[in-house]
Amino acid sequence: MTYLVGSIVLYNNDGEMIRNAVNSYFLKNDIGKVLYIVDNSPTDRLKTEISGRNIRYHFCGKNHGYGKGHNWAIDHAEESKYHLILNPDVIIKPGVIEELIEFMDSNPNVGMVCPKVLNEDGSVQHLNKRITTVYDLLLRKFLPIRFRSVFQKRLDDYEMKDIGYDKLYDVPLMSGAFMLCRTTVLKAVGGFDPRYFMYFEDYDLSRKIQKHNYRTVYYPFVSIIHLWGRASHKSARMLTVFIINGIRYFNKWGWKFY
């Protein structure tokens, strides 16, 4: 049995960025590892950027969205012990995957784990979240910078800065940039909810795993680099997608306003 399957979903990504992510996945060794590349791009031009005996490339022909892309890999992959949900803009440092798997092997009640996530300059990305409220999302997306200091404590609490990013703890909502999952658990919860085109599918998956009585854990002793795009802050279209999927999330899990 393959001990690790990884999946990356593409959409018109930079070729060098993809190669860096793929190479970092296989950096320490490729024995027992397989990587699925699911390409939602309009053409299969990115296929030429990817090569390797343990890489499975699938061209979708249309953009099915982030969750559906990963679900294709989850459904079609060979049997494995662990499945890594990975963004194409992530660089994994040597030994990260192996240490996280060792942690999972020692803690069978953990269904999903994530490492510390860093910017290129080494600063921490505060991606761990408490259960989302409408109020928190409004503050994060629409609060003018000049008023940010007034609500800073609330914003910091939402990002779990009061606990910090240097200790191990359970995370209510985990970022989809890097999610190492126990494959049996990932399949038991049905993978990602395909109704989310993009955004909130990682929060939804976190809650589904917890609902199945497994822990979702932040493990800070290893780290990755995430070249964070934050598309919803730059594009009116992606902001609209964010709002629509936020409504879907609250309709499913209950509207919590404050």
- CA-to-CA distance for 144 and 90, rounded, in angstroms? 29
* Exposure on the CB side of residue 175, measured as CA atoms within 13 A: 23
Is-contact 18 48, C-beta < 8 A? Answer: no
The label of the residue with tokens 């795993």 reads 209
What lies within 8 Å, CB to CB, of 14 at 6+ separation is none
What per-residue confidence (pLDDT) applies to 1? 63
Structural domains in the chain, CATH included, are 2-123+166-228 (3.90.550.10)
Distance of CA 132 to the CA centre of its chain: 17
Task: Provide the pairing of β-strand 33-39 with 55-59.
Answer: parallel
Is-contact 216 109, C-beta < 8 A? Answer: no
Q: Where are the beta strands (DSSP E) in 87-183?
A: 90-92, 110-118, 169-170, 178-182
- CA-to-CA distance for 215 and 209, rounded, in angstroms? 7
Render each residue's pLDDT in the chain as its tens digit; 258 residues: 689 999 999 999 999 999 999 999 998 767 789 999 999 999 999 999 888 889 999 999 999 999 999 999 999 999 999 999 999 999 999 999 999 999 999 999 999 999 999 999 999 999 999 999 999 999 998 999 898 999 999 999 999 999 999 999 999 999 999 999 999 999 999 999 999 999 999 999 999 999 999 999 999 999 999 997 655 456 788 899 999 999 999 999 999 999
Instruction: With H, G, I as helix, E, B as strand and everything else as coil, classify residue 32.
Output: coil
Task: Provide the pairing of β-strand 80-86 with 33-39.
Answer: unpaired
Strand partners, 8: 37, 86
Strand partners, 6: 35, 84
